[in-house]
Amino acid sequence: MKEAADTKKSKRGKPTLDREEFVNFYHNLTERSEIKELYGLYSCNKGYLTPKDLLTFFVEEQKEENMTETNCTELIFVYEPQKENKELERMSFIGFRHLLISPTQHLFMWRHRRVYQDMTQPMTNYFISSSHNTYLAEDQLKGPSRVECYITALKKGCRCVELDCYDGSNGEPVIYHGYTLTSKILFRDIITAIRDYAFVASPYPVILSIENHCSKEQQEVMANILMRTFGKSLYAPDVLPSSPPSPHELKEKIIVKGKKLPFNLRQSNILERGSSVDEGEVSDEDEALEVPSELQQRQQEEVKHHQKLDVKFSQSIGMKSVTFKGCDQPPTGSENFNVVSLAEKKIEKLLENDPEGICNYARSTLIRTYPAGSRTDSSNYNPVPMWCGGCQIVALNFQTGGLEMQLLHGKFADNGNCGYILKPNCLRTDEAYQVVLGRGQSPTRMCLNIEVISGFQLPKPKNSKKGEVIDPFLKIDIFGAAIDTQDRKTAVIKNNGFNPIWKEKFKFRIEVPELALIRFAVYDKDQYFDDFIGFYVLPINSLQQGKDVL
């Protein structure tokens, strides 16, 4: 294209474009025939769009119900680059192209880019964006631990971070993956970072999931750090509520999740004087010990015999970690802000054998799930089945990219990326949940029609050969209830990553759209292994509707 633009053929030895040639080259480079076709249709081939023409486009093509001619005049003023066209209230083709790639025309429904859901229901009614072993930057065995990992997760809207706490030197508790060679960071430094970044992305509560392996002395140090650093922001009532509070009630609060002494023991003067009463285990989970070794087993036995729960640290707990005893035995009692932690294989087995039991259990108790300890490479499991089972806190390794994290970020882009998504009605009652299991007809079922039109300037995949031209295709995946899982692929466009045009139509029948995510992924077709180029994930119910595809 550059050679073709050099119409005057410079005689100085090198191809050279003058000003006029460069402008022509730029216009050819950014040519979009499919957009020009659309532009010609709504401009009636008169060479410009009036506010009335633009309104017709928004109503008929984009399904914008609330658009007015005045709005269209304002958009012309914003996106039209030529001053004279602005004055005449006309939009050129370049202005129209700028408009189509602007945030106002994003595939993600603009109303869902802010908090729009009811935030006053109990926390058990929400999915919560959650990170596993948040401190790790790489693998689970010898990788570095970094404070920055907490900052990154919180800035992405994560509302539940994990801290594995162990005794450190000089009386300072440390965070690291116990019984491994991962590096250690001070508990104090992480708490300071959380204080500074907790509410940058969202005002809703942040949960600190504590895996506590500290001695009573260093537990007290942790309690002092928590209370001094967070002050009034720390949610630590004397008596936990009889039912879970709402995200709205706990706005800008830090909630520490962990084991908590019974109320009568917390008030006991005997305990405070250091009685030998067995206060119980301090942690109900330990993923590191799921990969046993002789050293780990010895350390585990040592810890098991000597650890007790400190009264002061117990007082800092705002969400009580309890042991899962079965779907038919949910926690009871006057203090009922509870959470159970289930490893990947455990929750998968439960969802396979008793999905109704798990969904019902999650209506009164928070369920946190986390990757198996055998995932030493920090890989992730598919979070979708856990969400479809009603599990609220589905923790993933944020440091590891890939499909699973794409799905998490896509799901929590909804509701203003605040980290809390209200669970749909189909998870609220046993009768409604039958639809998720494929045992009934959903009142919200839909037929989703998609037309894949074109691509533009698609990048080459990493490590591609120099000079190689890609053969792109698009794959569309639906993730959600098992009955809705499906995918489609476009044709492969040979040797054209610059401006491939597909114009292919697809139809998806979706029974439970409120639980469904759609993923668009571009690949370069290869003989042995298709190379990944890029993706976009969003909830089905956050798709901005366009012109009907028949």
Please provide the DSSP assignment of 243-261 as one string.
Answer: SPPPTTTTTT-EEEEE---
Nearest to 233 by CA among 251, 220, 249: 251
Q: DSSP letter at 171?
A: G
* 112 in catalytic set: no
Taking the whole predicted model, whether its pTM rises above 0.85 is answered as yes
Q: Which residues of 384-415 are buried (b: 16+ CB within 10 A; e: fewer)?
A: bbbbbbbbbbbbbbbbbeebbbbbbbbbbbbb
Q: Which domains does the chain have, with CATH numbers?
A: 2-110 (1.10.238.10), 123-423 (3.20.20.190), 444-542 (2.60.40.150)
Look at residue 195 in the predicted model and tell me its pLDDT. Answer: 98
CA distance 334 to 231: 26
Look at residue 276 in the predicted model and tell me its pLDDT. Answer: 37
Please enumerate in sequence order all residues whose Cβ is within 8 A of that of 538, keeping only pairs 6 or more positions apart, or say none.
107, 108, 410, 413, 414, 517, 518
Please enumerate in sequence order all residues whose Cβ is within 8 A of that of 126, keeping only pairs 6 or more positions apart, or say none.
247, 392, 420, 421, 422, 423
Look at residue 279 in the predicted model and tell me its pLDDT. Answer: 47
* 177 in catalytic set: yes
Q: Which of 98, 106, 112, 132 is catalytic?
A: 132
Q: Which residues of the chain have pLDDT under 50?
A: 269-279, 286, 288-289, 291-292, 294-295, 305, 550
CB 113 within 8 A of CB 539: no
Q: Which residues lie across from 130 on neighbouring strands?
A: 160, 395
Look at residue 8 in the predicted model and tell me its pLDDT. Answer: 81
Terminal Cα-to-Cα distance of the chain (whole angstroms)? 37
Look at residue 275 in the predicted model and tell me its pLDDT. Answer: 41
CA distance 303 to 288: 13
Q: Which of 177, 213, 305, 306 is catalytic?
A: 177
Look at residue 281 in the predicted model and tell me its pLDDT. Answer: 59
Look at residue 271 in the predicted model and tell me its pLDDT. Answer: 46
CB 454 within 8 A of CB 499: yes
Q: How far is CA 110 from the centre of its chain?
A: 18
State how beta strands 446-454 and 501-510 pair: antiparallel
CA distance 143 to 362: 34
Instruction: Please state at what angle helix 187-197 crosses helix 216-230, rounded to 10 degrees.
Output: 20
Look at the block and give the residue holding tokens 């004087």. Answer: 273
Q: Which amino acid is at 431?
A: E
